[in-house]
Amino acid sequence: MNISLIKKYWMALTGLFLITFLIVHLAGNLTLIWGSPEDFNAYAKFMTTFPLIKITSYLLYASILGHAVLGIALARQNKAACPVDYAYNKPSANSSWASRSMALLGIITFVFLVIHMKSFWFEMHWGEIGTDSNGNKDLFTVTNAAFQQLWYVALYVFAMTALGFHLAHGFQSAFQSMGWNHPSYTPLIKKVGMAFSIIVPAAFAIIPVWMFING
């Protein structure tokens, strides 16, 4: 099998896996708004101690890293294949800004993930944080403190905007790369992908804004 094709399959599969993770992660994060601090802390404990989740998390880390590295490699490969931008070549007429900026959007999202994991994932595992009334690590207090900082809230919203544009192209592109496209259902995939790329990042972005305002 062609190496480039393998890379595209891997990008598609890891992308779809990360999309699934976003849904699960958002569901848990929404307890910051609609649940109690104890609910969020219980969710955080479950995500870091339940055996199946812990095993899946290693796949998640590998997927994030692999998706980022391969994304950059494919972007460099595509740029090398078309090194000259001719005067008559107008990319905007043939593709969306999101599709032409996938590498940049991916890098922004990846850098945010590193900062995000340092702020919360690292603290949950190795930070010196207190416990709540149920004896669970009080990650809610750590999260609330982070979301009282305007710069962090702004960074979060900016990163979710970049993620939204990344998903706007990446969602349907993943299905196309896997060969799962057909005139009868590809239009639906595009519509679902567009809705997902708006609703999910917006829901993530609302959480720190809501906590900042109500903190």
CATH number of domain containing 162: 1.20.1300.10
Question: Residue 174 contacts by C-beta under 8 Å, 6 or more apart in sequence?
Answer: 11, 12, 13, 15, 16, 19
Q: What is the number of domains present in the chain?
A: 1
Instruction: Please give the span between the terminal C-alpha atoms of the chain, in angstroms, as a whole number.
Output: 54
Instruction: For residue 35, give the DSSP letter.
Output: S
**pTM greater than 0.85 (yes/no):** yes
| Span 85-95, pLDDT tens digits | 544 455 555 57
Residue 20: exposed, middle, or buried by beta-carbon count in 10 A (0-12, 13-18, 19+)? Answer: exposed
pLDDT at 84 over 90: no
42 domain residue, yes or no: yes
Q: Are 32 and 40 a contacting pair, CB within 8 Å?
A: yes
Residue 55 forms part of a structural domain: yes
Q: Which two tokens stand for residue 26?
A: 């958002």
- The reply to whether 104 falls in a domain is yes
Mean pLDDT of the chain: 88
**Single-letter residue type at 123:** E
Closest CA to 139 of 40, 24, 36, 34: 40
Which residues span the domain enclosing 192?
A: 3-80+96-214
The whole-number pLDDT of residue 95 equals: 73
Query: What are the tens digits of pLDDT across the range 28-62?
Result: 999 999 999 999 999 999 999 989 888 888 888 88
pLDDT in tens, 111-132: 999 999 999 999 998 999 999 9
